Structure 1
Amino acid sequence: MHAEFPSLLGAGLILLGIFYLGYLSIKIKLPNVILYILLGIILADVLTDNKLLYFAGEIGIVLLFFLLGLEFNVNRLGGIAKKVWPAGLLDVFLSLGVTTLIAIGFGLDFFSSLLVGGIAYATSSSITAKLLDDRERMANAETEFMLAILIFEDVVAPIVVAVLVGMSTGDAFTAGAFGILIGKILLLTLGAIILGKTVFKRFEIFLDRIADQDFKIALLIGISLSYAGLALYLGLSEVLGAFLAGMMLAEIGRIEKVEQTVFPIRDLFLPTFFIYFGTTVELGDGVPMAGLLAVVLLWSICAKILLGVIGGPLYGLSRRASLRGGLSMCSRGEFSVVIAAVATGTLKVFSGMYIVIAAFIGMVLFEQAPRLTNMVYGKPVKKKKNLKVPGE
């Protein structure tokens, strides 16, 4: 009698696969994210619509952005918002607007062209944030700018999705619907600010009173998942909700108390997100619209580099940091997959191929960004400190 393959066995094998690929990535000096996505693509037929893998991945990505949000308290986030909007609008024009016009130039109708523009718009928040953490670049000058752009895109992308879904079903995306969506974003943000200034104002003292680490884990992960889930309930991105949940707790004096508790859980679940991401990509049997694919890939990379080169100085970065930031934001990922789900037929296969290729090229450019920047501007010269000798 043939027994059904146990989910527990499958989960164990996936965790062993994650260990092996993580170990292999160190040996061959390749980002482990690439290997996780490839594993997902290879196992797509087996793992498609696997709810356990999807849920584990959701926890991982939520905790990643929860921890990122801890670095940005309300005052810092307010200052960033004032500085990032010119670069954010430039990003919309270059990556969404120009790409849509390119697709129209290749003979696609407006809906299909806008869909291609939407897929090419948003940088992969998960891939970029994971690489920033893995490569210890969180303290770099351009990192705040990059994270600000990611959050800006996470606000704009749901609007793009809503427009495309409305067009695909024949319903118009009205000014009222747009207003409601913006209202939800403002409500979620305002709620996080109020909770951070009231309920979580003395959260550090409360954490110190919890001696049992298990209870502390349940509390912190419960907060992050709840606010991320609330964002999903409102039709927004769970990434945005998770980031705001971290921002609520950023008001406490020593965020490392929270980080030390959450880090191990994040590191366990996050690789499953990239494996699941790989299972959602449809590659098909051939290369549809190869000319358009090549042009959109080339332009989407140029658009993000231009975003860094032009938008970085608008944010206050040096030319060196701006170029390094632009080269590090070329990956496409989760929002592209969400938008690609609206596509059908040839356009769906086109979208799958674009996402995989753009993700890989983006990761390579991220790895090479410091070296390429040094090739353009030369190696940074370390400033010598003037040491005064006693008695001089």
Structure 2
Amino acid sequence: MLSEFPILLGAGLVLLGIFVLGFIGFKTKFPSVILYILLGVVLAGLLTHNEILHFSGEVAIVLLFFLLGLEFSTKRLGSIAKKIWSSGILDVVLSLGVSMIIAFGFGLDWFSAFLIGGITYATSSSITAKLLDDKGRMANAETEFVLAILIFEDLIAPIVVAVLIALSAGDAFTSGDLLLLIGKIIGLGLIAIILGKTVFKHFEKFLLRIDDEDFKIALLVGIAVSFGGLALLLGLSEVLGAFLAGVMLAEIGKIERVESTVTPVKDLLLPTFFIYFGTTIDIGSGIPMPLLLVTLLIWSVIAKVLVGIIGGKLYGLSKRVSLRAGLSLCARGEFSVVMASVALGTIKVFGGIYIILSAFIGMLLFSYANKITIKIYGKPVKKKKNLKVPTV
């Protein structure tokens, strides 16, 4: 008679599965995020409510948002906001706001509609950045705009998650509660900025004195997790706290020293977050709300294309380049998973299926963006060089 399946063996098999899927994704240039979610769906019966997997996934997502925050010093936040704010707000209105109204129109309550709006909002930074690199489009005219939109979404996503966490508490959410929530977010942000300008002003010099890399890992991961935990204590989301911890340390200047220490830990643990999310998706009873799913998939594409066309024009891009930018923003991924993890039951299943399908559709549209643009606007006319023949 076999004894109970050992947790250690399960953890080892999950790590080996991560290696195999990561290798497949690398060789096929297919985003491994989707493969990890699918693995979780397949292993749902074995790994559901696995505390180790859940804990490692929580730490991983905290480190992901911590590293995102490192990219945003207060100075950079201001410069980005000035340049992309109009296109970014348009993105919030179309991708989040209209999707929320569509879901409400299908009979969902306001919280579920807002949750679905959050799931449909953000473009996947990891999938889009990987495709830009793989397709050799990093130097294209639209790339700066695409990356600016991704950065704006990186700033908005933690706030949306914080609001979702507060709303999911189950109590009636009044205007006073909203003001209190905004106050907490602003307060935590101010604490991060003040600490960054004072306590952590000379943090880089302190890091240089630490020779043992293990101690650096304990210190930096500890800061990220502690700030995430502080956010939870205040009734906010851990990802917002982690993001603000990154903003706090962004003031040190050379963030590469922090990134080089934390990134390997994040890379090891992050797949477990997507696998655990996959284990929570039960598709045994079929696809919930199929008509809403199809409607949102179509609107999600339209919304991002409009963000590209209108926002790109506001950014100073041509019609051709703006369309190509919009077609490159359609894939949803890690941020949508973070939003969907707040959901329960049918909405979580719905969110998981939406994420997988929208990622596939987004990848296809990205790959064919140039061909679609040529089909609509024709081939770009090459400018003739006006060569002057020297006269004697």
Question: TM-score band (shorter)?
Answer: 0.7 to 0.9
Per the alignment, residue 158 of structure 1 pairs with: 162
User: How far did residue 138 of structure 1 move?
Assistant: 8.4
User: How far did residue 15 of structure 1 move?
Assistant: 0.8
* 1:209-244 alpha-carbon deviations (Å, 9 max, x no partner): 111111111111111222222223323232222222
Structure-2 separation of matches of 1:61 and 1:130: 16
State whether residues 92 and 121 of structure 2, in contact with CA within 8 Å, keep that contact through their aligned partners in structure 1.
no
The letter for the 2-side match of 1:38 is: L
Per the alignment, residue 389 of structure 1 pairs with: none
- Say if 2:204 is the partner of 1:204: yes
Q: What is the correspondence of 1:82-161 to structure 2 with a 5 Å cutoff?
A: 82-106=82-106, 108=107, 111=109, 115-122=112-119, 127-129=124-126, 131-132=128-129, 136=133, 140-141=143-144, 142-160=146-164
Per the alignment, residue 390 of structure 1 pairs with: none
Alignment RMSD: 3.3
Structure-1 separation of matches of 2:317 and 2:330: 15
User: How far did residue 153 of structure 1 move?
Assistant: 3.1
Structure-2 separation of matches of 1:202 and 1:118: 40
CA 1:42/1:189 → structure 2, altered by over 3 Å: closer, same or farther?
same
Per the alignment, residue 248 of structure 1 pairs with: 248
State whether residues 124 and 335 of structure 1, in contact with CA within 8 Å, keep that contact through their aligned partners in structure 2.
no
Per the alignment, residue 338 of structure 1 pairs with: 341
Per the alignment, residue 195 of structure 2 pairs with: 195
Q: What is the correspondence of 1:278-357 to structure 2 with a 5 Å cutoff?
A: 278-314=278-314, 320=321, 323-324=324-325, 327-331=328-332, 333-341=336-344, 349-357=349-357
The letter for the 1-side match of 2:259 is: E
State whether residues 313 and 322 of structure 1, in contact with CA within 8 Å, keep that contact through their aligned partners in structure 2.
no
Q: What is the correspondence of 1:227-246 to structure 2 with a 5 Å cutoff?
A: 227-246=227-246
State whether residues 61 and 239 of structure 2, in contact with CA within 8 Å, keep that contact through their aligned partners in structure 1.
yes
* 1:253-299 alpha-carbon deviations (Å, 9 max, x no partner): 32222222222212111111111121122324333433232112211
Larger displacement relative to structure 2 (211-220 or 280-289): 280-289
Per the alignment, residue 17 of structure 2 pairs with: 17
SS in 2 for 1:340: coil
Q: TM-score, normalised by structure 1?
A: 0.82
Structure-2 separation of matches of 1:255 and 1:134: 25
May I ask how many residue pairs the two structures share in their alignment? 375
Larger displacement relative to structure 2 (249-258 or 30-39): 249-258
User: How far did residue 193 of structure 1 move?
Assistant: 0.8
User: How far did residue 85 of structure 1 move?
Assistant: 4.3
Structure 1 spans left out of the alignment, 5+ residues? 385-392
Q: TM-score, normalised by structure 2?
A: 0.82
User: How far did residue 369 of structure 1 move?
Assistant: 5.3
CA 1:138/1:39 → structure 2, altered by over 3 Å: closer, same or farther?
farther
* 1:74-98 alpha-carbon deviations (Å, 9 max, x no partner): 1111233445544444334323332
State whether residues 18 and 36 of structure 1, in contact with CA within 8 Å, keep that contact through their aligned partners in structure 2.
yes
Structure-1 separation of matches of 2:285 and 2:219: 47
CA 1:227/1:36 → structure 2, altered by over 3 Å: closer, same or farther?
same
User: How far did residue 134 of structure 1 move?
Assistant: 7.8
User: How far did residue 349 of structure 1 move?
Assistant: 4.7
* 1:138-178 alpha-carbon deviations (Å, 9 max, x no partner): 89412133121232132134325544x37xx5x43211100
- Say if 2:180 is the partner of 1:180: yes
Larger displacement relative to structure 2 (236-245 or 68-77): 236-245
Structure-1 separation of matches of 2:182 and 2:322: 32
The letter for the 1-side match of 2:197 is: K
* 1:94-130 alpha-carbon deviations (Å, 9 max, x no partner): 2333234434544x25x1x652453133457694246
Per the alignment, residue 390 of structure 2 pairs with: none
Per the alignment, residue 64 of structure 2 pairs with: 64
Structure-2 separation of matches of 1:336 and 1:286: 22
State whether residues 128 and 328 of structure 1, in contact with CA within 8 Å, keep that contact through their aligned partners in structure 2.
no
